[in-house]
Amino acid sequence: MDDGLHLDGSLFAPTEIAGLKLPNRLVMAPTVVNMADPDGTPSHRQIDYYRLRAEGGVGTIIVEATFVRCDGRMFSANLGLDQDSQIPRFRLLVEAIHRGGAVAGIQLFHAGRRANPEIIGNQPMAPSPIPCPLRQVMPRPLSLEEIEELALSFVSAAQRAHEAGFDLLCLHMAHGYLLHQFITPLANQREDRYGGDEEGRLRLPLEVIKGIRKRLGSRAVISVRISSEDGVEGGLKIEDTSRIAQKLIGAGADLLDVSYGFPGSIPSSSPSRDFPDGCFVPLAEKIKKATGAPVVAVGKIRSLALAEQVLREKRADLVALSRPLLADPELPRKWREGREEEVRRCTADNKGCLERIHQNLEVRCSVNPTLGRTSERQR
């Protein structure tokens, strides 16, 4: 099939997906920083944080997980797009990213059973009454009516994101959040039309994609982040996800962002220094071969040589970085200008970023002490 993405082997050559022009093939992966204002809109510091990374030369920025309903919050300073009143503030964020030279995407999510009950003020919800292994809070099962309302919440949030000017709409169906909870038998033991076999478990995720496509038509470019494997006994394997990915594309998704993991998996979705660089790339390659669709490779890609190799060997179509851009927002420019030795290199110790975020604290970085401050740019 023609996947709409034409490679010439260069990390910094422009390309396009579904008519959306990208200045290069480097993507800033969605990374929660916990800096939003209390109403879920981006703070001044958060806008500046994204602006610096756009100016640093990354081609596409996918703004972090943004809740589609307030009962889907996981962190106290989560971004949210559950109300029309939030649109103007997000428009400022999009404008800052565009001025910096990058395409603006946003990841839409609902935490489901991973929502923090102290933050949402209620019992978390899920497909089935099975607690998240990391939180051990018993969720309540969703009713059929509530599931239909959730699908509409995703569609409405996508429309708000589109009205705010986002170029790319990214649906979070990985890492054990609500849509992933429906997909995997680890969290979904329903016996109605939203559970049971693979067709039932995929019903809600497919309804969300189709609903966005119906609402926005070809104006929407839709990416889906998936876990290539759950990495937990009894969970989805790459063979399962390869089939699922084909159905996501068939429902209207344009791009697959191939990550890894489920709560409790080893490695996690953010592999530590104990795991090799690019450890999820082979899984992205398998999804690409199974679907013929454009894919994003992510997971501890920390060197120019590895990023170029992934593209040169056509193992993926785009390369996403997360923690390396926390460490050095100017990494892409330094790579492009042959100054890789000047890059402030991510150590993958996960101390300032992942560990703090899961304590509901603002992101920090072990090697970038100015992260999140307006003075962050290196002099």
Catalytically annotated residues: 177
Integer angstrom CA distances of residue 135 from 70, 167, 234: 19, 34, 19
Separation CA 36–CA 196 (nearest Å): 38
Tokens linked to 340: 């890789």
Pick from 90, 6, 27, 43: which is nearest to 299 by CA?
27
Pick from 71, 55, 128: which is nearest to 325 by CA?
55
Provide DSSP, 246-277: HHHHHHT--EEEEE---TT-SS-SS--TTS-T
In Å, the largest CA–CA distance within the chain is 59
343 near 335, Cβ under 8 Å?
Answer: yes
DSSP lists the bridge partners of residue 22 as: 15
DSSP lists the bridge partners of residue 60 as: 27, 103
27 near 320, Cβ under 8 Å?
Answer: yes
Q: How many CB atoms lie within 10 A of CB 375?
A: 8
Q: How many CB atoms lie within 10 A of CB 274?
A: 8
Pick from 297, 216, 309: which is nearest to 256 by CA?
297
238 near 283, Cβ under 8 Å?
Answer: yes
